[in-house]
Structure 1
């Protein structure tokens, strides 16, 4: 982290140190607060941290979304609460001055044929450099077969993937939890093939990441997401909403496919949802249950089961 230079420098550094001392990563918030410090310094602000100052900073970048403006404001607002402990004249910033509607981006559920093509043709994304295709194929295949988040895929280290047992260790994920993810034997074969090709291609590379870019570095979420979008477009994959196909939609597809199979086989979804939630790293079962409404097929199967139960209950009641 670069040094702070504004009139709030000492307290900004102390605030970030406190948050990280409590076990939080606090990386995104720290970046925002560094930008805030730079903004305050460049504009020659030497007074109190007012709501006007926080709003001016939050909206100073015309290229960010409303969601980003709200996040930037709230990061500064939370710091202001901390600052008030040392500077009692600091006013309390209004938590409701900016509102952002909470909407989930529409999930696109890939068909099995699309998944097969995306995995199969990933190997051919670069005829000039086959290693790029081998890497993308392994990453897409792993996400499609396990429902892992894009951040979890890129953060895997070599030590996290047991190529003997097929067990993948996911550490300090979205909600700062660890979990073990067993992979299917076909996925394990792909991971072994990739690891063998990687070690032969990147001889002497000391990067600990399991998946390595052509620059011998760890992938970022942005790099992988963009590579997948370009690949999906080349394959002619088009979402119903008109948005770009997303790497994260592989996760949606995994969850929906699993629940469809359970419904069709007559399994009790209420008993199995906790297992799926644990496997996918969800904190709340409601996050997993969201997928029930993700497709017409799954919603139809749920409705059909309900009507069958209702008819059976009515027959029982008549007797």
Structure 2
């Protein structure tokens, strides 16, 4: 939100209208109020006592002997996805949680969806009073993993939400950013401020004394990928496979999760190892390509290990 709020010039409608960058890119700022109602650990909907408790799992509750057929070979306890308890209350210890009652949770999702839509209608009416005819837009983006993972009932909430929006369609309209732009509503031109969703709204989370060592390796790989993509205009089939797998390894190395987790101090060794492994495999493939000495067995092993982005095309990295 602060990208627009602190942009130049100041936004006429705050975060409740997009702005257009000088290069033609439209920016939609997240509405803080709607974000808090869903994400906040204190007042957000997912924390209601009726909803399923994420951290109480049979993988930790049941006798180890009973669980062994469902665990990895090392027999270490883990989450199995079977969770029979509800949140019960914020101050209630995990071991004292009460049994989950699906009907209670189902009813609560309907109640929360109705509450959410009602608050959006009141918010829109209040904004409209000062917008002089300009339609207020409430942008409400959320991480997809919230719905169904952290918040088990999240998909039900969305179902009830869109039913309620349809029922109240004379008062409020759900719309995508693309459709809003297609409506040709005048948009203010603005240069937004530098920003991120990280702590304090800037970049320290991803660039600090603990993870800055990563970037020289990453930037070298980025430059090398572009050089290879430019060089191989008509690659053979095996060269094409190496180029595409190199692109996969680069993308995996670029994942912001590695730097984020190192900053957080969680799974530091794992994150460091993952980053190093992808950079190593990228350089291994790039060197093989440059030398013409491609080990197809090794290539197949790497393709099998890191098989994300099946339709990737290395030509995306060409600079022309």
Normalising by structure 1, what TM-score? 0.28
Larger RCO, structures 1/2 (Cα 8 Å, 6+ apart): 2
Q: Greater helix percent: which structure?
A: 1
Normalising by structure 2, what TM-score? 0.28
